[in-house]
Structure 1
Amino acid sequence: MDDPARCRLCNEPIGPTATDEQSYCSPGCRQVDRTLGAGGSTDQSTGATGEDEQTGAEQVYLHIDGMHCATCEAFLERRATNREGVFDAAASYVTETIRIEYDPEQITVDELEDALTTVGYSVVPRESLVTVADVHERRWDDRQLDDMLGFRYAAGVLFGLFMMLPYITVVYPVHLMDLLGTGDLAFFSGGQGPGDALMVLPIFMIITGVVLFFTGLPLLRGAYVSLVMRQPNLDLLVAVTITSAYVYGTVAFLTSDLNIYFDLTILIAAVVVTTIYYESLTKQRAVDLLTELTVSQVTEANRYESDGTTETVDISELEANDRVLVREGERVPVDGVLESGSCTVDEAVVTGESLPVRKESGDELIGGSIVTSDGATIRVGDPPTSSLDALTTSVWDLQSTTHGIQRWSDRLAERVIPGVVAVAVCAAAAGVWLNGLLGGVLAGLGVLFIANPWGLGLSTPLSVARSIEAAISHGIIVFDETVFERLRETDTVVFDKTGTLTTGEMNILTTDVPDQALAKAAELEQHAAHPAGKAIASAVEFGAEARPDGGTGRGETVDPPEETTPTERVSNVRSHDTGIEGDVEGERLLVGNLALFAERDWAVSREIERKAVGYREAGDLPVVIGREGEAEGLVVLGDDPREEWEEILRRLADREIRTVVLTGDDASAASLFDDHPAVEHVFAGVPPAGKTATIHRLQQDGHVTMVGDGTNDGPALAAADLGISLGGGTALASEAADITVLDDDLSNVETAFELAAGARERLRQNTALALGFNAVTIPLGLAGWLNPLFVMGAGVLTICAVSLNATRPLIGP
C-alpha cells in the first residue's frame, strides 16, 4: 500500500489524492508555508511507537538526575553510544532527558540504565513518570539527593569550624606578627616554638583531605567529567583551586613552611557546595509549586467484556476493535470510532479548537479529548494509540534533542583555565630554574589557586538561586539557569490564542434578548450539557439590572424567576445536536443556531439572521432564542480576550520583539488580533504538528519564545528556543515549557523579560565582585607578600561582597 501524501509544512498525512493546491493538512499550514516562505516539508512526525528508521531499532527516553551542564550531555551521550547495540543518543541537561536509539536484541533498557548510572548520575525511564504518584515519588528521591548534598555541606562547615580555631590562634597570629616586624618567635614565649606548632599540621592535613573529598565530591565529579570530555567548566575551575591549595599546603607542611592554605581549601569547598545546595533547594521549591497540576495522560480504560460488563484495564492491554466505555467528564483513552449514539467532545487539549464538537455514530474520537456530555462507547482503532500520547512523545523527542546552551560561566571557565594552567607551567619552570624543584612546584601550585577565578563558583549558583527566588516571588517558576539567558536573546514571541491571549472560558459577550425570555432560556438550558448551554444557564445565578431596551449587557446576568425548581417549570424537553427546546411555564422555547431554527421551521427575522452571521464571522458563537415559533433575539457567546493582552503586546513591541499569534481556531476567531498593529502575523487553523513546524520556520530568522497553555501546545513549547506556560494550562504544557506562570497572569510574560534583564546585570555585578579575590592576591603574590592571612582575608571579603549584592531585589524598588 502506498504511503499517504503528507503536508508540505508539518509532514502529517493528508490523503492519497493531494494536489499542489491541496498539499496541506489544514488551511493554517498552507497559510504558514506561503507567508513564511516555502521550505519543503518539515519532518516533525512523532509516531508514538518508538520505531526508528534503522531495522529493528527502538527508542527509549530516560530521565537522568545529576545533569547540570553541556559537558554532562556530551559525557552521557558518549557513554551511551560506546555500548554495543546503541545507534544514537541525544541528551539535554535542561530537561534531564536522554533519548537512545538501540537494538533490543543486543542491549536492554536495564543495561542502558546501568551503563548511565555512574559518577553521581541516576537513571529512570521517562515514561514511568506519568502519574501524580510517580512525580511525587521522584520528587521524594530528589529531596533525598538534596539531603545528601546538605549533609556534605554540614560536614564541611563542622570540620571547617574545627580547623579555623587553630588557624585563628596559631597560624594567623604568626603571619600578622611577622608582618608587624615583631617576629614569629615572639608568639611562642614560654617554651613553645614553630616546631611545636607544626605538630598539629598532620591533623590539619587529614581533616582538610576529608573535607576536600567528601564535601567537595560534587565539584570533583564535575571536574572528572570535564577532564574526560576535554571541555573545561566551572566545576573544574573550582576543583583546580581547592586541590592546588591542598597540595601546596601539604608540600609546605613537609618542608616545615607555615604558608599552608588548608583553610582556603576548606573555605572554598564549603562555601561553593553551600551555594550549590542553596541553588538546589531553590529549584526544588520551584518544582514543588507545580504539584497541583494534573497529568493529562490516561493510563487505564473501561473495556467491555464478552458478557457485557466492563473491566478497568491498563491501556497497554487494549487491542484493535475492543469496545471501551468513556463516561461523561472522562478522557478518551485511545483513538477510536464512536460506535453508536452521539456525544459532545472537548478536543482543545489535543487540537487547540476552543469550541466543543458534536460527534455522531461513526465519527472519530481523539485520544486525550474529554467527553463533556452523554458518555460514549468507542471501538479502539488499529493500532491502539492515543493522539495525546503522540503529543507527549513529540515533546520528549524535542526536549532530548534540544541541547542546553553552555552557561556563561562555563564558557568563561573554558577560556580561563587553559590560560591559568599555562601561566602556572611557566611559573613552575621559572621556579625550578631559580629555586630548584621544590621552589618550582610551589610556584606552579601558587599560581593555580591565586590566579584561578574560583569566585565564579560562588557567584554563578548564588546569582541563579536568587534569580529563581525573585521569579517565584512574582509567580513565575523557572527551572533552568539558562532561561534568562535565552529569554534575553528572543526576537519573536509566539502566542497561542485560546487560553493564552483569551480567557479560554465560554461566556456571554452580549445579548439583545428580553430579560424574561433570557431567564426562561437559561432555565431550559439547565437541562443541557453543552458548554454553550451552561454559559447561558449561568445567567440566572446572579442578579443584574435590566436595561431600558429589555436586554442584558456584556457580562451581565438577570434575576431568576420565583423560587421554584426547574422540574416544576420545565417540561417536554428535547435535545438537538445544535440546541435544545422545551416548555417553560407553558411557553414553547427553542434555543440553538440558525440551522436548527430553519430545521424546526421557526421564523427568524432578517435582522437577527444578519447579526448572527456577523458574529459568527467575527469568531463568536451566536445563539438564537425564540418563543412560540419565532426568534426573539441573540445571545452571543465567546472566549473573551484577557484584559491585559494589548498592554503586553505594546511592551513587547517597545522591546523591538515581533509578535505572532498561532491558533487551532478558524480565522474568524482570531480576527481581533489580526487587526492589532503590534501583531506581525496571525496563523489560524493550525494543528499541533503545524504549530511545531511554524516554530521551526520562525527560528530560521532568530530566537523564538512560545507562550501557550494547552497540551496541544506542548510540542511547540518544547521546540521553541524558550517556552512559557500559563499556570491555568495542562501538565504537559508545563513540562514542555521552561517557564511556568503560576497565577495564569499574562502580564507576567513581560515581568519575565524584566527579570531576565535584571538577572544579567546582577550576574555581571557578582562576577566582578568574585574576581576581587584575584585582584587582591595576584599583586600580593607578585610582590612576595602572600600568606594565609591575606589569602583568607581576600576570600572572606569576596564571599561577603557577593552574598550581600545577591540579596538586593532583582527588579523594582
Structure 2
Amino acid sequence: MTIHCFHCDEPVPSGLDLSVTINQKVQPMCCIGCQAVAQTIVDNGLTDYYKFRTEPANKGEVLVPEQLNKHKLLDDEALQNEFIHQDGDIKESILTVDNISCAACAWLIEMKISKLDGVKQINVNATTQRATVKWFDDQIKLSDILSAIDAIGYHALPFKASTAEELNQQQSKAFIKRLGISGILMMQVMMIAIGLYFGAFSDMSEHNLTYLRWASLILSLPIVTYGAFPFYTGAINALRARRLSMDVPVSIAISLAYTASVWATATRQGEVYFESVSMFTFLLLIGKFLEFRARNRAAQVSANLLKLMPLSATVLQDGQPKLIAAKKLAVHDQVIIKPGETIPADGLIVHGSSQINEAMLSGEQKPVTKTQGEKVFAGTINGDGNITISVTSLMSDSFLSQLIRLSEAAQSYKPKLAQFSDKIAQYFVALILVMASITALYWGQHMPSEAFWITLSVLVATCPCALSLATPTALTCATTKLNRSGIMIKSAHVMEAMPQIDLYAFDKTGTLTTGDFTISQVVLFDSPYTEKELLPIIASAEAYSEHPIAKAFHSYFDSQTEVDKVEIVAGCGVNAQYKGQQLTIGKASWILSQTIDNTHEQSHRDASCLVLLNGRLISAIYLTDTIREDAVTLLSSLKSAHCKTLLLSGDNQAGCQQVIDTLPLDEAHSQLTAKDKMAQLTEKQKQYKVAMVGDGINDTPVFSAAHLSIAMGSGADIAKHGADVILLNNKLGSIATLLDVATRTKKIIRQNYMWAFGYNAIVLPLAMSGHITPYLAVIGMSASSILVVTNSLRLLK
C-alpha cells in the first residue's frame, strides 16, 4: 500500500520515515522540505490550513536558513487572509513580539523598522507586547519585516488569540522557572554566607574558607547566567542598535559584582559578594515577574475579543448546507446560523429573526432583536431563532477586526509627555552610567572597601523603568476600561484631547433623540397609490439609506416591491425609480425646492418627509421620535463641568422644538445644511475646543472639522466615517464615562511621572552618598515600577 505525503500528497519513498504531528495526529512526509514547511505551519498555529484546504500544497523546499523560510511562508496570500487587513496598496497586521521587557525595547523596534523602505508606520505597545505595522506590499514583504525584527534580537509573529495566550503562558512559565531556580540556589548561597560571616569572627581555616567560596561561586553561577539572562539580552540588543536601555546598568551591576567575587575567590584576595549578587538578581526577577503579571492583566482585551471568532461556518451552496472555514467566507455568501451559535462574519439578515447578544461590542447584556434587512456583526451570539445572513465583509475587514486594530492603535499612541519621557530615558541611562563612574572614582579614593557596593547601588536604584511604564500602562488600562463599557477609541489623540473640550455640539436625530422613528400620520395628495401601497415602495427605496429616518419604514419592506436607480443625496433624501416613474423622498425644504406644486407647501412644511412622484407632491409623512433618557443627565453634568452645549440640526424648527424645550441646551440651531453646520463649528472654534456628537452617517465633513468627534451606535461601518470615538453601546451617557476616564487617565499619567521623576531625583543623591545598600536599591527600583503599573490598574476599576 502506497503512503502519500500529508502535505503535498506525493508518494512517500520506501524506507523513508519522516513525520509531523498535526492536530494531535502523526502525519507522514515525503521529504525534509515538506516536513519543514508542515512543522512551520504547526509552529505558527496555522494548522487550520490543513483542516479546510481544498487541494494539496506544493512540494516543499528545504528550509535554509529555516527561520527565513518560516517568515517567507507567511507571505502566502491564502494564509494572510486570516491576519492581514488590506486597504489599496497598504497592508496592515498586528504582530505579537516576544522578548519585549520595557518601553525602550518598543522604541528600539519602532526606530529600526520605521527606517525600512516600504514601511509606512509601526507602533509598538510594550504593555501588550504587540506591534501594529502598515506597509506597501509592492515594496516590502511581511517576511522582510519579521526578519528585520529578528535581526535586532526580538521574535515576531502575526497576532492570533491562541498564539498570544500560549506566548503569555510560556513567558509566565519561564519567569517562574527562573525564579524557582534562582530562589533555591540563592538560599543555599545565603546558608554558606552565614558560615563565611561566622568564620570571619572565629578564625576559620584557609582551607575551609576557600571551599565555601568556591561552593558559592558554583551555586551562584546559574543565577547570574540563566536567572539574569533576560537582562543581558535586553542590554545586548540595545547596545547592538547603539542605544541605551534600562537593562544596561542592571547588567553591568550584576556582571561587575559576580566578576569581582570570582576574582577574589581565584586570587584569595579581597571580599566575595556571591550572596549579595544572588539576592540582588532574585529580587530583580521578582520585580520583573510582578510587573509582567500586571501588564498581562491589562493586555487581555484584544486576545479575548479574537477568541470570539468561530473557526467554521455553515454556508448554503446550491441550496445545500456545507461546513467551511469561517476565514474562507466571501462577500455575498449565504450563511445559516442556528440558535446559540456565534455569528462568523458581518452580514445582513436575509431570512428569519432572532435575539442577538452584542455584549462583546457594546457591553450591554440585554439581547437586541434583529429582523430581516438588519445588520449583524461577527463575534456576536445568535439567541433563540434560526437566521440566514448574507456576508457583507471579509473576516479581516469585519467590525470586530477593525475594533481590535483600532484598539491596538489607540493603546500604542504616545502623547507629547510620553514622547518627551522616551527621549529623557535615553539620556537618563547615560547620566546613570556617568554618575556611577564618578561615584566609583570618589569612593575609590576615600573609602575603597565600600566603593564597589555604593557604585552598584547607583546603577540599580536609579534605573528609570518606572519612567518608561508611566504612559503605556495607563493608556492600555484606560482603553480596556472603555472597551468594556462599549466605548471604542478610534483615534489616538482622544485621551489627550477629551479633558480639554469646553463645547459639545450635538446633532439631533439619533443623537439627542433615540432615532427610533415611528410613523404617526400619512397624508396623501392626489396620489395614485393608497397608504398601504405607498409605504412598501418608500421602504424599498429607504432600504438603501443608513439614515435613522429610513428605519421607520423597515417594517413595511416587501421583497416583491422593487425599485432601481437609487441615489442617496446626503442630508437631503433619496431618489429612485419605480416602474419607470421618478420617486423622490426627503426633507421638506429639499423636496419643496424641486417642485412647482405649491398647493400644499404651507400646510405641510413641518412634515418629517415629503414624497414626489414625477415631480408632483403626492404625500406628507409625519414621524415621532423620543428624546434619550440620559440626555438631560448628560447635558446637566456637562453644564456643571462648565462646558457649553450646542444643538446643530438639519431638522425643521417644529421638529427641534421639543428638544429645545426639554433639554438644558445653551444654544440651538435648526434647518442647517452640512455647510451651515461647518460654518457654525468653525465660528465656535475661534473661542472653544469643540467636540461634535452625531450619528456618524451624514456628519463626516463636520466630524473632520471638530477637535474631537463622537459617533453614536454601531449601525454604520466604522471605516466609513471620520469619528474619533464610537459609542458602541449607543448610550449618550457614555460621553460622561469617556470624559471621566480620560480625565482620570491624564491625572494618573501625571502621578506616574511625578513618582518616577521624584523617586529618581531623591534616590540618586542618596545612592551616591552611600546611604542606600544594594538590597534597598533593588527593592526601591522594583517597587517603583510595580507602583506605577498598580496605579495604572486603578483605571480598570
Q: 1:206 aligns with which of 219, 222, 247?
A: 222
- Report the CA distance between 1:483 and its aligned residue: 5.7
Q: Are positions 1:154 and 2:170 aligned together?
A: no
Aligned to 2:18: none
- Report the CA distance between 1:753 and its aligned residue: 1.7
Aligned counterparts of 1:292 and 1:661: Cα–Cα separation in 2: 39
Aligned counterparts of 1:705 and 1:228: Cα–Cα separation in 2: 46
Aligned to 2:41: none
SS in 2 for 1:613: coil
- Report the CA distance between 1:614 and its aligned residue: 1.3
Q: Are positions 1:271 and 2:287 aligned together?
A: yes
Contact 1:502 1:642 in 2 (8 A): yes
**Amino acid corresponding to residue 276 of structure 2 in structure 1:** I
Aligned counterparts of 1:525 and 1:456: Cα–Cα separation in 2: 63
Match runs of 1:337-352 below 5 Å: none
Aligned to 1:242: 250
Aligned to 1:285: 301
Provide closer, same or farther for how the CA distance between residues 491 and 536 of structure 1 changes in structure 2, counting only shifts above 3 A.
Answer: closer
Aligned to 2:730: 744
Aligned counterparts of 2:155 and 2:256: Cα–Cα separation in 1: 31
- Report the CA distance between 1:183 and its aligned residue: 9.4
Q: CA-to-partner distance for each residue in 1:562-621, whole Å, 9 max, x for gaps? A: xxxx99xxxxx9999999xxxxxxxxxxxx9999xx9xxxxx998x86453113xxxx33
Contact 1:708 1:733 in 2 (8 A): no
**Amino acid corresponding to residue 433 of structure 2 in structure 1:** V
Match runs of 1:36-185 below 5 Å: 59-66=90-97, 72=106, 75-76=109-110, 78-79=112-113, 81-82=115-116, 86=117, 89-93=120-124, 96-101=131-136, 110-111=143-144, 114-115=147-148, 118=151, 119-120=153-154, 122=156, 138-166=160-188, 169=191, 185=201
- Report the CA distance between 1:749 and its aligned residue: 1.7
Q: Are positions 1:613 and 2:605 aligned together?
A: yes
Contact 1:500 1:708 in 2 (8 A): yes
Aligned to 2:371: none
Provide closer, same or farther for how the CA distance between residues 677 and 732 of structure 1 changes in structure 2, counting only shifts above 3 A.
Answer: closer
Provide closer, same or farther for how the CA distance between residues 685 and 780 of structure 1 changes in structure 2, counting only shifts above 3 A.
Answer: same
Contact 2:183 2:282 in 1 (8 A): no
SS in 1 for 2:154: coil
- Report the CA distance between 1:122 and its aligned residue: 3.1
Match runs of 1:292-371 below 5 Å: none
Q: How many residues of Structure 1 are paired with residues of Structure 2 in the alignment?
A: 571
- Report the CA distance between 1:100 and its aligned residue: 3.8
Q: CA-to-partner distance for each residue in 1:459-484, whole Å, 9 max, x for gaps? A: 66665565456546645466999864
Provide closer, same or farther for how the CA distance between residues 121 and 264 of structure 1 changes in structure 2, counting only shifts above 3 A.
Answer: same
Contact 2:457 2:772 in 1 (8 A): no
Aligned counterparts of 1:229 and 1:716: Cα–Cα separation in 2: 45
**Amino acid corresponding to residue 122 of structure 1 in structure 2:** A
Contact 2:254 2:281 in 1 (8 A): yes
The structure with higher relative contact order (CA 8 Å, sep 6+) is: 1
Q: Identify the range of structure 1 (693-702 vs 408-417) with the bigger mean alpha-carbon deviation.
A: 693-702
Aligned to 2:459: 448
SS in 2 for 1:89: strand
Contact 2:646 2:665 in 1 (8 A): no
Contact 2:120 2:134 in 1 (8 A): yes
Contact 1:407 1:482 in 2 (8 A): no
Contact 1:660 1:682 in 2 (8 A): no
Contact 2:606 2:654 in 1 (8 A): no
**Amino acid corresponding to residue 425 of structure 2 in structure 1:** A
Q: 1:257 aligns with which of 262, 272, 287?
A: 272
Provide closer, same or farther for how the CA distance between residues 512 and 695 of structure 1 changes in structure 2, counting only shifts above 3 A.
Answer: closer
- Report the CA distance between 1:446 and its aligned residue: 3.6
Q: 1:507 aligns with which of 491, 513, 518?
A: 518
- Report the CA distance between 1:748 and its aligned residue: 1.6
Q: CA-to-partner distance for each residue in 1:426-473, whole Å, 9 max, x for gaps? A: 22343555578x987765444221233444467666655654565466
Aligned counterparts of 1:187 and 1:742: Cα–Cα separation in 2: 76
Contact 1:87 1:101 in 2 (8 A): yes
Q: Identify the range of structure 1 (73-82 vs 692-701) with the bigger mean alpha-carbon deviation.
A: 692-701
- Report the CA distance between 1:701 and its aligned residue: 9.2
Match runs of 1:321-470 below 5 Å: 404-405=414-415, 408=418, 410=422, 413-414=425-426, 416-431=428-443, 444-456=455-467, 463=474, 467=478, 470=481
Aligned counterparts of 1:449 and 1:153: Cα–Cα separation in 2: 20
Provide closer, same or farther for how the CA distance between residues 208 and 639 of structure 1 changes in structure 2, counting only shifts above 3 A.
Answer: farther
SS in 2 for 1:265: helix
- How high is the TM-score relative to the length of structure 1? 0.52
**Amino acid corresponding to residue 252 of structure 2 in structure 1:** S
Aligned counterparts of 1:328 and 1:87: Cα–Cα separation in 2: 37
Aligned to 1:755: 741
- Report the CA distance between 1:207 and its aligned residue: 2.2
Match runs of 1:488-567 below 5 Å: 488-490=499-501, 499-508=510-519, 510-511=520-521, 529-530=539-540, 535=552
**Amino acid corresponding to residue 89 of structure 1 in structure 2:** K
Contact 2:181 2:223 in 1 (8 A): yes
Aligned to 1:37: none
- How high is the TM-score relative to the length of structure 2? 0.53
Contact 1:185 1:193 in 2 (8 A): no
Contact 1:70 1:406 in 2 (8 A): no
Aligned counterparts of 2:107 and 2:737: Cα–Cα separation in 1: 31
Contact 1:772 1:798 in 2 (8 A): no
- Report the CA distance between 1:78 and its aligned residue: 4.9
- Report the CA distance between 1:281 and its aligned residue: 3.9
**Amino acid corresponding to residue 153 of structure 1 in structure 2:** F
SS in 1 for 2:120: strand
SS in 2 for 1:90: strand
Contact 2:454 2:770 in 1 (8 A): no
Provide closer, same or farther for how the CA distance between residues 146 and 432 of structure 1 changes in structure 2, counting only shifts above 3 A.
Answer: same
Aligned to 2:357: none
Contact 1:72 1:225 in 2 (8 A): no
- Report the CA distance between 1:490 and its aligned residue: 4.8
Aligned counterparts of 1:748 and 1:523: Cα–Cα separation in 2: 41
Provide closer, same or farther for how the CA distance between residues 780 and 502 of structure 1 changes in structure 2, counting only shifts above 3 A.
Answer: same
Contact 1:522 1:537 in 2 (8 A): no
Provide closer, same or farther for how the CA distance between residues 637 and 805 of structure 1 changes in structure 2, counting only shifts above 3 A.
Answer: same
Aligned counterparts of 1:738 and 1:594: Cα–Cα separation in 2: 28
**Amino acid corresponding to residue 121 of structure 2 in structure 1:** A
SS in 2 for 1:642: coil
Aligned to 1:648: 634
**Amino acid corresponding to residue 621 of structure 1 in structure 2:** C
What is the identity percentage for the equivalent residue pairs of Structure 1 and Structure 2?
20
SS in 1 for 2:291: helix
Contact 2:185 2:219 in 1 (8 A): no
Contact 1:97 1:399 in 2 (8 A): yes
Aligned counterparts of 2:671 and 2:166: Cα–Cα separation in 1: 46
SS in 2 for 1:257: coil
Aligned to 1:732: 718
**Amino acid corresponding to residue 421 of structure 1 in structure 2:** L
Provide closer, same or farther for how the CA distance between residues 230 and 328 of structure 1 changes in structure 2, counting only shifts above 3 A.
Answer: closer
Provide closer, same or farther for how the CA distance between residues 752 and 669 of structure 1 changes in structure 2, counting only shifts above 3 A.
Answer: farther
Aligned counterparts of 2:707 and 2:105: Cα–Cα separation in 1: 20
- Structure 2 residue runs without a partner (length 5+): 1-84, 265-270, 319-327, 333-346, 351-396, 524-529, 543-548, 565-573, 576-584, 592-596, 613-617
Contact 2:462 2:781 in 1 (8 A): no
Aligned counterparts of 2:307 and 2:677: Cα–Cα separation in 1: 28
- Report the CA distance between 1:777 and its aligned residue: 5.8
Contact 1:117 1:123 in 2 (8 A): no
Aligned counterparts of 1:710 and 1:293: Cα–Cα separation in 2: 26
Superposition RMSD in Å:
6.5
